[in-house]
Amino acid sequence: MTKYNTLLYYCYSTIADAEQFATDHLKFCKSLNLVGRIIVAEEGLNGTVSGTAESCNTYMDTLHADPRFARVDFKVDEVGEPSFVKMHVRYKSEIVHSGLRDPHIINPEKKTGKHLDPKDFMAMKDRDDVVILDVRSNYEHSLGKFKNAVTLDIENFRDFPAKINELAQLKDKKILTYCTGGIKCEKASALLLHEGFTDVYQLHGGIIKYGKEAGGQDFEGKCYVFDNRLSVDVNQVNPVVISTCYNCGKITDKMINCANPECNEHFTQCDECGTAMDGCCSDDCKAHPRKRVYDGTGYYVKVPQPVNVKKAKVQLAD
Active site residues: 179
What values do phi and psi take at 204, rounded to 5?
A: -65, 125
What values do phi and psi take at 124, rounded to 5?
A: -95, -25
Closest alpha carbon to 308 in 94, 95, 96, 91: 91
Contact 222, 253 (CB under 8 A): yes
Q: DSSP labels for 298-315?
A: ---PPPP--TTPPPPGGG
State the distance between the two ends of the chain, measured CA to CA, in whole angstroms.
45
Closest alpha carbon to 224 in 255, 246, 265: 255
Helices (H), the chain: 18-31, 53-65, 118-124, 138-143, 183-194, 206-214, 271-277, 283-286
**DSSP type of residue 224:** E
What is d(CA 48, CA 208) in angstroms, rounded to the nearest whole number?
13
Closest alpha carbon to 38 in 78, 72, 79, 80: 72
Contact 201, 116 (CB under 8 A): yes
**CA–CA–CA angle 181, 309, 304 (5° rounding):** 70
